[in-house]
A and B are shown apart, each in its own frame.
Chain A
Amino acid sequence: MTAPVVEPPPPLVGTTGSRGQARVAWAMLAPNLLLLGVFLLGPLVWAFLMAFQEKRSFGGGTWSGLDNFARLLGDDVFWRALLNTAVFTAVTVPVGVLLGLGLALLMDKALPGRGVFRTIVYLPIVISSLVTSLIGLLLFDETVGIVNGVLADLGLGAVSWQSDGTLAMASVVVMTLWSRVGFSMVVYIAALQDVDPQVVEAARVDGATPWQTTRRVVVPLLRPTTFFLVLINLIWSFQVFDVVYVMTNGGPGYSTTMLVTYAYDEGFGPARNFGYGATVGVVLFVITVLLTVLQVRRNTRSEV
């Protein structure tokens, strides 16, 4: 008996057909590449160039070398915004992912009214973040807000959600978590569908408790999903803008000023200092890229 002869695959390069395929591929890619170039890469390069200029909204810019970066180093507000952003990220990313995981594990079971609960948790994601921010303002307004109203009805004193820096940050964090946790939950629920039930069953047969099964078997199997969620939440947290802009306007003082709100205020606020605003943006970009690279490396190492 002879083995069947297998036809070698056609060469991928150097033929008329492959060149035609490449042309089609480029043609298909072209619209996206064009959009990315015009609306993403172009402005990015432009922002880098403006960071080295003294440039206001009207009139040409003048090259100023590293002046903007020197100003940045001595700018207390920038450092405060950086610290605020780091604190905000350090709280929202782990808490948001863990809450999403917890809710996903809960909703993955045969819970009565599961669909309704899932919808309620996911709802903030499908409405505009501006709307959720306005709801946050309605809830946490210190004088006429719903939260303080309920506290007053319970005989408790009003809480300084807007005039105390720490509490203002807490209110922003709460609203951010509320609007994000649904996304983490849905992604985790999807990932849980892929967990092999035989593996879970085997752990139970081996005597693992439900907690041990979750902690030692299910959660490790969700690692790629966790990596994705941590990364995306990290980027979102560094880019936080609307919830701060609407709820606190960066205040009280600079207690909730973030890097993006500061860049916006400098670049598009009344100062219209495009050069300095771009400098803050460039620093934010570099930090985000560094954190992403670190996270990717860490994940790659742990997979190996």
Chain B
Amino acid sequence: MLRGGAAVGALWGASTLAGCAGLTQRVSSTSSGGGDRVTMQVYGTDTETAVYARLCDQFAADRGVTVDLTVVPFADFATGIDAGLLSGTAPDVFRVDYPTMGLYAATGQLLDVTDPLDELAQDVRPALMAAVTYGERRFGIPQHVDTSALVYRPDVLRDAGVGAVPDRPEDAWSWEEFGEVADRLRDSGGDDRSAFAVNWQAAGAFRWLNWLFAAGGHLYTEDLGAAALDDDAGRRALDFTRSFFENGWVPGTTSTKSPTYPDAQFTAGRLAMLCAGNFLVPAFAETIGDRFEYAVTYLPRDERRASELGGNALVATKDSGNPELASELLVHLASPDAMRQFCEASVLLPTRESLASQDLDFVVGGDLMGVYADQVATIEDRDVEDVTTPTFAEVNVDLANELEECFLGGRSTDDTLRAIAEKVTASAALNDGAGS
């Protein structure tokens, strides 16, 4: 009887544990494929990940293989990928932002896909292809770009006496004109609304470079061997951007290390304008709805117009369990049809010139995307080189730390530029082999 009871207990225990497996078993976010199975890891909005799932299903059905797609939060992706690469369990294909990709490519972690991507390379602007190219070899597909433009509320600007808003690139506000507009908006907004905010929080500190580039400056020297921003252009850019805080144009909570993003303030009606990426257009449509009118115009210009290279690439792991299948998946995702599906649904800008020249049928905000497309066209080759060095991801953190010392900590422009330059130069020694 006892023995029988023990057996029943053991069986119950085993079945209970087995039942729990579905709840407690940790599905590894990174694992390598093999045979006719390929693994892929992405981050992104619900819309983006839904399109990835659809594209992977298409590929799996066409080839008769299995694609295991894992979705992770953006904040966790790099830690997981690092661990996966070090332990040999990285996914075969993964999504990565351009600044982080430099490190993986430079340290030999990625699969060389130069030959399979020949067709794509013919159709993508060299400046954008350079973002995935190291030492003349291509290591991924630049799947899309996104960039910033100035989203604004026409009703608030009208009330503040701002008559005309630039509707042609050549009419973009100069910095001085932008400052005058900000003054008016600050004075009319009272305590409830600030003039504007800039989207340089979290990993977005590199968006400060828009102002540096517009002033005619650059982060690195042309050979990427040292910092180049401690000059007149750097001083002008930093003086102007620190004046955002000194003049009370932007909320104090929108500095480079703020733990929150300013788009929530815009949708809450607390900002008159916002430098915002095009990837926010669907969120604006959903959260603002008909509550107030909003439109988009060009970023202010100085010596030149400038915009940042945002966006993401798709890459394959060098030690992939099935490198052929992984590169085939990349080619599939880079195809004109797949890129069109992805960009139209996610409201992102394609990197293929053949698509960029067409009117894509974006699910929302199609009327806003022309400005963004024009902003992307202002990105120059050297701008791309500045933000895709192997060490740029850590430079990005240094920018966030040092700029905040200037914006909120009261440190002088010269001291801040010197501090950034020292860190950029110190890490530049690790940039050998960067650039296309």
Contacts and interface: CB of A to CB of B under 8 A. Distances in A.
A162 B375 CA distance: 32
Given A144-B264, A246-B259, A253-B404, A270 B86 contact: no
Interface string A220-256: 0000000000000000000000000011111111100
Contact of A143 (B103, B253, B394): B253
A141 B257 contact: no
B260 A141 contact: yes
B255 A251 contact: yes
Interface string B85-117: 110000000000001100100011100000000
Interface of B is mostly: helix
A246 B109 CA distance: 31
B253 A162 contact: yes
A141 B394 CA distance: 27
B399 to A, nearest CB: 11
Contact of A58 (B85, B268, B396): B85
Contacts of B396: 270
A142 B253 contact: yes
Nearest to A249: B259
Contacts of B401: 77, 253-254
Given A249-B259, A250-B257, A142 B251 contact: yes
A54 to B, nearest CB: 11
A57 B106 CA distance: 12
Contact of B252 (A141, A163, A248): A163
A57 B397 contact: no
Nearest to A158: B191
A123 interface: no
B265 A144 contact: yes
Contacts of B82: 57, 272
A158 to B, nearest CB: 7
B270 interface: yes
Interface in A140-182: 141-144, 157-158, 160, 162-163
Interface residues of A, number: 30
Interface of A is mostly: loop
Contacts of A10: none
A272 B102 CA distance: 13
A303 to B, nearest CB: 44
Nearest to B104: A58
B128 interface: no
Contacts of A57: 82, 86, 103, 107
B259 A58 contact: no
A272 B259 contact: no
Contact of A269 (B264, B268, B397): B397
B19 to A, nearest CB: 24
A93 interface: no
A290 to B, nearest CB: 29
B400 to A, nearest CB: 9
A124 B82 CA distance: 33
Contacts of A104: none
A162 B252 contact: yes
A252 B86 contact: no
A265 B253 CA distance: 21
B408 interface: yes
Given A163-B408, A249-B257, A252-B408, A143 B397 contact: no
Given A57-B86, A143-B270, A269 B394 contact: yes
B394 A270 contact: yes
B287 interface: no
Given A141-B253, A142-B253, A272-B82, A265 B397 contact: yes
B64 interface: no
A268 B257 CA distance: 17
A97 interface: no
A271 B203 CA distance: 13
A293 B202 CA distance: 39
A253 B258 CA distance: 10
B377 to A, nearest CB: 29
A251 B397 contact: no
Nearest to A141: B260
A142 B252 contact: yes
B380 to A, nearest CB: 24
A50 interface: no
Contacts of B259: 137, 162, 246-249, 251
A270 B100 contact: yes
Contacts of B124: none
A59 interface: yes
Nearest to B398: A271
Interface in B268-288: 268, 270
A289 to B, nearest CB: 28
A235 B141 CA distance: 47
A58 B251 CA distance: 39
B252 A160 contact: yes
24 contacts: A57-B107, A58-B103, A58-B109, A137-B259, A143-B265, A143-B268, A160-B252, A162-B258, A247-B259, A248-B259, A249-B257, A250-B257, A251-B259, A251-B408, A252-B255, A252-B404, A252-B408, A252-B409, A253-B401, A265-B397, A268-B79, A269-B397, A272-B82, A272-B103
- Top 4 closest pairs, chain A to chain B, by CB: A163-B252, A270-B393, A251-B257, A271-B394
Given A142-B251, A142-B253, A252-B404, 17 more contacts: A58-B86, A141-B253, A143-B268, A144-B264, A144-B265, A144-B268, A144-B270, A162-B252, A162-B253, A163-B251, A163-B253, A249-B202, A251-B255, A251-B259, A253-B405, A270-B78, A272-B394
